[in-house]
Amino acid sequence: MSCESATALALKESGHRPTPQRLMILSAVRHTPGHVTVAQIVEQVKESYPFIDPSTVYRTLAVLKDERLVSETDMGAAEAVYEWIGQTRHHHLICRVCEGVTSFEDRHLDGVGEHIRQNHGFEADLDHFAIFGVCEDCSAESAHA
């Protein structure tokens, strides 16, 4: 089954129509390596469908985020970025000094969600997020200054 067919099926199973616009938006997110902004999605979709409206993209991303097909993350820029979640969850460490981004695997958070649930009765969505701080190189550099 192609990824587009699988996506259409996932939308149908969740009670959402796999409209051509939704499929184009999801394809833009799914086939862009890394993170993508709404503006970038609009530009990609406009190549095939010049009448796409940014509000359609925002609404579709909200649906896809609710269905946990895409993630929305604040990476410290002016606008949120979106990424296809797929089966492999990952997160980001972002250095406030050099702005370097390092990915780290979801396995590093094993138990955090369970700890939150047990101690606070809260079901946390730990699909994709950014942790801001100072990287090892920048920390070492400031220690020598």
pLDDT tens per residue across span 124-137: 878 777 889 999 99
7 neighbors 69 (Cβ within 8 angstroms): yes
How many domains does the chain fold into?
2
- pLDDT at position 88, please? 65
Single-letter residue type at 98: C
Global pTM reads: 0.72
SS3 for 137? helix
Same domain flag for 4 and 36: yes
Flag residues of the chain having pLDDT under 70: 1, 86-88, 145
Looking at residue 86, what is its pLDDT?
A: 65
**Same domain flag for 118 and 49:** no
DSSP H helical segments within the chain, as ranges?
3-13, 20-30, 38-46, 54-66, 112-120, 136-144
pLDDT of the residue at 128: 74
Same domain for 101 and 80? no
Rounded Cα distance, 58 and 80, in Å: 11
Residues 92 and 63 both lie in one domain: no
Q: How far is CA 36 from CA 25, 66, 81, 141, in A?
A: 11, 18, 5, 31
pLDDT at 127: 74
In the structure encoding, which two tokens stand for residue 102, read together? 């390092």
Which of 60, 86, 112 is the last residue before a domain boundary? Answer: 86
> Do both 49 and 120 map to the same domain?
no
Q: Which domain holds residue 41?
A: 1-86
